Amino acid sequence: MKDSVWSKLKGKKSERTDENLIKEVIVSAYMDGIQIDPNVKLVKKGFHPDFNMYVKQDGKLVKVSRDDLVATVAKKEKAKEKVTYALEVVDVVGKTGNAKLIVYKDGKLTFSDYFLLYHFDDGWKIVAKHYEEHK
C-alpha cells in the first residue's frame, strides 16, 4: 500500500520512469495533498490548472474544476482514519497516462479513483478524474 510506492521511489534516479513519475504525482497531489493531510500547494503542483473531476450526482454529470477542488481542500481537516491505498494500474503511452487507485479508510474500501494525465514541460499533471465511492 502506501509504503510500496512513495518511500521506495523518492530520490532514486534509476527508477524514474514515466510510470513511477505518474505514481509520485498521484501519491503526492491526491493521497498526501487531499486524502491524508490536505495541502493546497501539493494539489496545485500535481493537478493541471484546467483539471476537471467528473461526478455523477442524481443521474447528472457534474464537473468540478481545480479551483473548486482547491477551495474544498483548503477547508478540509487532516484524516482521522487510517488511510491506505493501492495503485492498481498505471498505463503510459507516449505523453499520456492513466491510473486506477483504490483508497481504504480504516481498512474499508472507500474510493476507486480513475485519473487521466498528460506530460507537460514541468512534468506529469493530473488533467481529469472520476471515481466510484463505495458505501
Tens of pLDDT, residue by residue over 53-106, are: 999 999 999 999 999 999 999 999 999 999 999 999 999 999 999 999 999 999
pLDDT at residue 50, as a whole number: 98
- Is the pLDDT assigned to residue 123 strictly greater than 60? yes
Q: Where are the domains of the chain?
A: 2-133
Helices H, strands E: what count in the chain?
Answer: 4, 6
Q: What is the mean pLDDT of the chain?
A: 91
Query: Architecture of 2-133 per CATH?
Result: Roll (3.10)
Residue type, 28: S
Give mean pLDDT, residues 121-129.
98
- Is the pLDDT assigned to residue 32 strictly greater than 90? yes
pLDDT at residue 2, as a whole number: 45
Cα–Cα distances in angstroms (integers) from residue 108 to residues 1, 91, 114, in the given order = 13, 26, 18
Integer distance in angstroms from the first to the last C-alpha of the chain?
21
Concatenated DSSP letters of 31-54: IIIIIIS--HHHHHHHEEEEEEEE
Give mean pLDDT, residues 31-59.
97
User: Phi/psi at 38 (nearest 5 deg)?
Assistant: -45, 130
